């Protein structure tokens, strides 16, 4: 044992090792469900012992040994699994060193993190299950931490995780990287799950829901890990850049009382310059060498905003061109909403309102407060203040987010009442 590290350093180390240890166990014992529980127990034991007693010479090997012991203990105590225990005992020679010697690079260590991630984001699982399982098995978070972040009781989250694991078992999903021809579709699901986790914590900055804000940092950490493993993939780099550039605005996005500050009114001195530099460099480099994709385009748009010293310096023709490209590549009503705003900034509010009108019959946006909010914003730009006020109020009634509703109510309140 070496000198004792801090609890936070141990936690960082453990959470990076979690999917590798799990991968090693699953390849050896072929039981994802039990292996995942055993890894959680080993992580917990390490979190208690290491800050006190110092790091073992090979932390990864220590975790694999402890988790394997937990797993075999579990099997021994479980009579119904007697036959499988016999199989496992036959597979593992007695006293075999389960992990490679210190310094020796385990052959599958990196693939394993990816394989676990692909498994947790398998399309057979619901989005809620994908998110919960990814945070636990890849992120190394405890069920209690995940439950706190999603504001549900721990029992509810435990059930979601156990159900997801049962589903993996029932559908017989194998523990290996998806075949080459499925790889890009499956990676798209992984990126979707990571972006979902990122957006969960997006505007929460303080108060009783702080745990939820930590999801943003966790999503960036996991996406960074995927980028390290797949450095040439343009969309992975694009998503990481998008997250960094969006997260850079966090200090300016809300007031101390939790009220939202729109992009145009944010104090840009409070933006995180280091995140912006990293995000801009990443997206610039990626656009040069990889085939363009939706995350890269969204990151490029975020970069244009990030590079404007003041809101009025924004290169709107550039933003508009990027939205036109995005709309062709990945058409979606949310993209059209943002496209309409960019169009209004370049060609005037009437052009934006015309584009918005094309969304009126769109089922996917029916009754969505964002459509009303954007229309109200463009009406306000056009000088139709009474209609803008009515639009903001309608949007506020339809919003199901507290900070967004408050923002929309405030927008409506500062406009004159059309009935007077």
Partner 1 sequence: MKYMLLIYQNQASREALAEDPDGLMGEVDAIVEELIGSGEWVGGEALADVSQSRTVQVRGGLPAVTDGPFVEAKEHLAGYCLVECETPERAIEIATRWPDARLCAMEVRPLMDPSGMEM
What interhelical angle do 273-289 and 294-307 show, nearest 10? 140
Question: Where are the strands (E) in 34-184, listed by range?
Answer: none
Cβ closer to partner 1: 202 or 316?
Answer: 202
Q: What is the DSSP letter of 4?
A: P
Q: Is 380 in the site for partner 1 (CB under 8 A)?
A: no
Burial of 112 (0-12, 13-18, 19+ CB in 10 A): buried
Cβ closer to partner 1: 55 or 213?
Answer: 213
Q: Which residues pair with 260 in a beta bridge?
A: 254
Q: Is 339 in the site for partner 1 (CB under 8 A)?
A: no
Binding mask 401-420 for partner 1 (x = CB under 8 A): xxxxx-xx------------
| Near partner 1 by CB under 8 A: residue from 200, 218, 247, 272 | 200
Cβ closer to partner 1: 28 or 268?
Answer: 268
Cβ closer to partner 1: 61 or 365?
Answer: 365
Instruction: Considering only the stretches 90-98, 102-110, 146-154, 347-355, report the one whose residues sit in contact with partner 1 under the rule CB under 8 A.
Output: 146-154
Q: Is 160 in the site for partner 1 (CB under 8 A)?
A: yes
Burial of 369 (0-12, 13-18, 19+ CB in 10 A): buried
The residues, ordered by sequence, that sit 6+ positions from 42 with a Cβ below 8 Å of its Cβ are: 21, 63, 66, 67, 70
| Near partner 1 by CB under 8 A: residue from 65, 84, 167, 202 | 202
Q: Is 1 in the site for partner 1 (CB under 8 A)?
A: no
The token duo for 419 is: 């009935």
| Near partner 1 by CB under 8 A: residue from 204, 275, 296, 336 | 204
Q: Is 330 in the site for partner 1 (CB under 8 A)?
A: no
| Near partner 1 by CB under 8 A: residue from 2, 53, 87, 126 | 126
| Near partner 1 by CB under 8 A: residue from 58, 72, 142, 159 | 159
| Near partner 1 by CB under 8 A: residue from 92, 263, 290, 325 | 263
Query: 160 near 129, Cβ under 8 Å?
Result: yes
Nearest to 193 by CA among 253, 239, 144, 261: 239
Alpha carbons within 13 angstroms on the beta-carbon side of residue 362 total 16
Round to whole Å and give the CA distance between 140 and 40.
7
CA-to-CA dists, residue 23 to 43, 181, 368, angstroms = 14, 23, 42
Question: Where are the strands (E) in 181-290, listed by range?
Answer: none
Q: Is 217 in the site for partner 1 (CB under 8 A)?
A: no
Least CB distance to partner 1 at residue 377 (A): 9
Least CB distance to partner 1 at residue 384 (A): 19
Query: 264 near 342, Cβ under 8 Å?
Result: no
| Near partner 1 by CB under 8 A: residue from 151, 281, 330, 413 | 151
Cβ closer to partner 1: 123 or 127?
Answer: 127
Least CB distance to partner 1 at residue 409 (A): 12
Helix (H, G, I), strand (E, B) or coil at 64: helix
| Near partner 1 by CB under 8 A: residue from 97, 155, 311, 357 | 155
The token duo for 59 is: 């932390």
Q: Which residues pair with 254 in a beta bridge?
A: 260
| Near partner 1 by CB under 8 A: residue from 34, 115, 129, 296 | 129
Helix (H, G, I), strand (E, B) or coil at 293: coil
Residues 233-252 that bind partner 1 (CB under 8 A): 249
Q: Is 262 in the site for partner 1 (CB under 8 A)?
A: yes
Round to whole Å and give the CA distance between 16 and 217.
14
Cβ closer to partner 1: 127 or 416?
Answer: 127
Residues that bind partner 1 (CB under 8 A): 126-129, 151-153, 155-157, 159-160, 163, 199-204, 207-209, 212, 249, 253, 260, 262-263, 373, 399-405, 407-408
């Amino acid at each position: 044992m070496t000198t004792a590290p801090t609890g936070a350093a141990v936690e960082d180390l453990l959470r990076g090792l979690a999917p590798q240890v799990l991968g090693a166990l699953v390849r050896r014992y072929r039981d994802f469900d039990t292996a995942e529980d055993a890894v959680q127990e080993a992580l917990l034991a390490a979190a208690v012992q290491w800050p006190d007693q110092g790091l073992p010479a090979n932390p990864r090997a220590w975790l694999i040994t402890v988790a394997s012991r937990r797993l075999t203990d579990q099997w021994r105590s479980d009579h119904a699994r007697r036959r499988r225990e016999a199989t496992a005992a036959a597979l593992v020679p007695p006293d075999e060193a389960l992990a490679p010697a210190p310094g020796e690079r385990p052959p599958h260590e990196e693939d394993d993190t990816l394989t676990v991630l692909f498994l947790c984001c398998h399309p057979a699982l619901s989005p809620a299950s994908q998110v919960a399982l990814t945070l636990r098995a890849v992120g190394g978070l405890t069920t209690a931490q995940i439950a706190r972040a999603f504001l549900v009781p721990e029992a509810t989250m435990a059930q979601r995780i156990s159900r997801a694991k049962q589903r993996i078992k029932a559908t017989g999903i194998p523990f290996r990287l998806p075949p080459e021809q499925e790889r890009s579709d499956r990676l798209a699901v992984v990126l979707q799950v990571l972006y979902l986790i990122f957006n969960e914590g997006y505007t929460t900055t303080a108060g009783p829901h702080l745990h939820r804000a930590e999801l943003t940092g966790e999503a960036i950490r996991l996406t960074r890990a995927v980028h390290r493993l797949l450095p040439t993939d343009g969309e992975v780099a694009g998503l990481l850049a998008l997250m960094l550039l969006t997260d850079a605005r966090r200090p300016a996005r809300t007031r101390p009382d939790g009220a939202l500050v729109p992009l145009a009114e944010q104090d840009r001195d409070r933006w995180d310059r280091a995140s912006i530099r990293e995000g801009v460099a990443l997206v610039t480099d990626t656009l040069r060498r990889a085939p363009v994709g939706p995350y890269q385009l969204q990151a490029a748009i975020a970069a244009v905003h990030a590079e404007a010293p003041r809101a009025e310096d924004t290169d709107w023709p550039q933003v508009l061109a990027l939205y036109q490209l995005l709309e062709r590549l990945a058409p979606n009503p949310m993209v059209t909403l943002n496209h309409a705003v960019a169009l209004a900034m370049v060609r005037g509010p009437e052009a934006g309102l015309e584009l918005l009108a094309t969304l009126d019959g769109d089922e996917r946006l029916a009754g969505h407060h964002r459509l009303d909010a954007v229309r109200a914003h463009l009406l306000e730009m056009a000088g139709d203040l009474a209609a803008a006020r009515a639009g903001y109020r309608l949007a506020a009634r339809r919003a199901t987010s507290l900070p967004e509703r408050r923002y929309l109510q405030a927008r409506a309140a500062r406009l004159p009442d059309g009935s007077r």
